[in-house]
Amino acid sequence: MLRLLFWIALIAAAVWFWRKFKAGPASVANTPSEQSAPPMVRCAHCGVHLPRDRALSLQQQWYCSQAHLEQGPGSRDR
């Protein structure tokens, strides 16, 4: 009985290692990393978050559109 349990444990460990090393590098490459995510900024007028490369800036404040840039900062009660 002990010999049977030993072989079951050995086979289970071998299958686990095989699956881990077979899928290891591929699964890591498919997951997006935080390093590749663009930095986000908040619109000073409406508060929506958007990528910094799509935002407009004026006097160290970010805006989501030209209309909000022209209107200026919104109310702070949000």
pLDDT digits (tens, 9 = 90+) for 9-30: 999 999 999 998 887 655 555 5
pTM for this prediction: 0.52
Q: Return the residue matching tokens 């444990």.
A: 9
Q: In the prediction, which pLDDT does 34 show?
A: 61
pLDDT band, very low/low/confident/very high, at 43 (cuts 50, 70, 90)? very high
> Residue 23 in contact with residue 3, Cβ under 8 Å?
no
pLDDT band, very low/low/confident/very high, at 72 (cuts 50, 70, 90)? confident
Q: In the prediction, which pLDDT does 36 show?
A: 81
Where are the chain's structural domains?
2-31, 35-71
CA dist list (Å): 34 to 22, 31, 67: 24, 10, 31
**DSSP E strand boundaries for 9-55:** 40-42, 49-51
